[in-house]
Structure 1
């Protein structure tokens, strides 16, 4: 990681003083929040006028049926401000930011296609899982190649033990991590504020880690993401006026994993994103157990947040408790990044 930072500084990607642009990073977070809140109301009204409302799975919890038709594709409230602000304030002399921008845009478009095909008015189920995964893997492969070759990243950092060069193994690991995180955040997006709140915590954690490394461009990107996500949560607060949809969840997950790899602390991603991991693992365990036992269920319903709903937890209880777990995991992740 030291070699990477020196290389990036020599190419004028990083400032010599890691804290000299911290004020700008924090200010952009506030600007992203304000812009998202301001444009959110007219954007949601536009979604309603065009009947861009989400279908709800009939096999899901009964209480979710009241959400049928709630405007979706709210992820653009996050991605568009982040792209615009990054291009204006965080791209000149920091061309490495083209990578998370490209990942953010590509996965947001993929998610928007899925959202568009799964609207109430279309009566379709969205794109097929194979189609979505194929494109996710393609975007992830392109990101992994950029991380490994132009940016020269090829190592794993293990807390307490240091850095180890893993060579070309870096590429398939990055592909699986980026695509897997995108899917995991997508699965988490089932309750109001759940995916957005936990994603904001994770981006904050990686923004702090990047600041401790002196990677101010990654700091700025992460904090801009946090501001935009919090602006989106203004309208996603229960009962939600808008859902982020795949437009947001796929983009947030892929961008988070990309930022994690840019810091070199990607081994901490399962910890910092522990809620996402739990949600994804619960689905995999449910499917495997169902097949092995001939129809029995390990959880009352998967993903995991639905299991707690059926146990009697309210939606706000689940989201707040998952947020708390995410916050503690983020703090622990930052601590491990320091050792």
Structure 2
């Protein structure tokens, strides 16, 4: 079977499972009472089931296992096989942490400790950042710093995706776009195993948008966000950071720049005000766009366009054929959406001043 067909199977199978299972999960959530109630910090105005991550997890995992059974991972040398298992088992662990939080409301400290332990376990299985790109100095081997750097990356991205999950369709859409870009780049970099996981995650994330885009019918919850964030970060490690090309090492950070920068800005803002970086507030980008008067849909589409733009830059830097052409197209799209945002915010300001 051609290698590309395995990736298509993973994408379509994951999407199909998510499209079928999400209404089932929603029904079970409503009957069991596992809902997210509105409050002053949250945007939704009616109770919502927040177990949609179960569908994303099941769809992605079953797609990966199906492709594995069909022989899509055949021929992996032993270290690579352990890396793939590290991504899969780590994703399962992070999903279970998030699901436990959705069901039983864990403390931030307990979540962080468990995430750190399982991220370290993934590092032990080969999901390791061995190189960093230093400006004007090229690649630098991380040596003994590999463990803390990898743990910070994996745990940080899991929480970054969870933190942007504050508007209908935002986390699922950003993750889906990032997964598609990572799929293309890892295929071009001849990392088919990492690409298979990216394909399955892309199908699950984009399939979930059918029920999660505004007006949302269900939320993914912490289980889905932690799972997607960890998996994206881990795929970036085994598919790109493992290589010894300077540009390849930079790509995962560029592809995931939007949630990374949003989290960094929020932490800095909270610390500068003397607040705990873990205490939720309304300082995220999507909150600021909504406070400016923009609709949920326009705010989300603008952040989608930002994510697609940085992803297109990654395609260009990868030297993928026509990569810079895609970057130009994404720049034009971002410019148009940005103009719409500016026009709407200006109109709203004029209405408020009257």
| TM-score category, normalised to shorter length | 0.7 to 0.9
Preserved contact between residue 159 and residue 337 of structure 1 (Cα < 8 Å): no
Deviation at 1:158, TM superposition (A): 6.7
Secondary structure, counterpart of 1:66 in structure 2: coil
- 1:25 pairs with 2:4: no
Q: Which residue is 1:195 aligned to?
A: 171
What is aligned with 1:129? Answer: 108
User: Which of structures 1 and 2 has the larger relative contact order (alpha carbons within 8 angstroms, sep 6+)?
Assistant: 1
Q: How many residues align?
A: 300
Equivalent of 1:85 in 63, 87, 93: 63
Deviation at 1:211, TM superposition (A): 0.5
Q: Secondary structure at the match of 2:302?
A: helix
* 1:1-339 map, 5 Å: 20-56=2-38, 58-60=39-41, 64-67=43-46, 69-90=47-68, 93=74, 94=76, 95=81, 96-117=83-104, 126-147=105-126, 154-156=130-132, 163-263=139-239, 264=241, 265-291=248-274, 301-338=282-319
**1:139-190 deviation line (CA, Å, top 9, x unaligned):** 11111222268xxx62235799764433222221111000000111110000
**TM value normalised by structure 2:** 0.79
Distance in 2 between residues matched to 1:169 and 1:335, nearest whole Å: 30
Q: Quote the Cα distance in structure 2 between the aligned partners of 1:271 and 1:256.
A: 12
Note the residue ranges of structure 1 that are not aligned, 5 or more in a row. 1-18, 118-125, 293-299
Contact 2:13 2:59 in 1 (8 A): no
For normalisation by structure 1, the TM-score amounts to 0.82
Q: Retained in 2: the 8 A contact 1:192–1:237?
A: yes
- Tell me the distance in 2 between the aligned counterparts of 1:260 and 1:169: 18
- Deviation (angstroms), 1:108: 0.5
Secondary structure (helix, strand or coil) at the match of 1:90 reads helix
Say what the alpha-carbon RMSD is for the aligned residues.
2.4
Q: Moved runs in structure 1, 4+ residues, more than 6 A? A: 158-161
Give deviations 1:41-68, integer Å, cap 9, x for gaps: 2221111111111133x3326xx2513x
Q: Deviations over 1:22-77 (max 9, x none)?
A: 12202321121112112222221111111111133x3326xx2513x201111111
- Per the alignment, residue 13 of structure 1 pairs with none
Query: Does the CA contact (< 8 Å) of 2:164 and 2:259 recur in 1?
Result: yes
Q: Secondary structure at the match of 2:40?
A: coil
SS at match of 1:156: strand
Aligned residues of 1:278 and 1:304 also touching (Cα < 8 A): no
Q: Distance in 1 between matches of 2:85 and 2:187?
A: 19
Cα distance in 2 for residues equivalent to 1:196 and 1:182: 13
Structure 2 gap segments, 5+ residues each: 242-247, 276-280, 321-354
Q: Distance in 1 between matches of 2:143 and 2:2?
A: 34
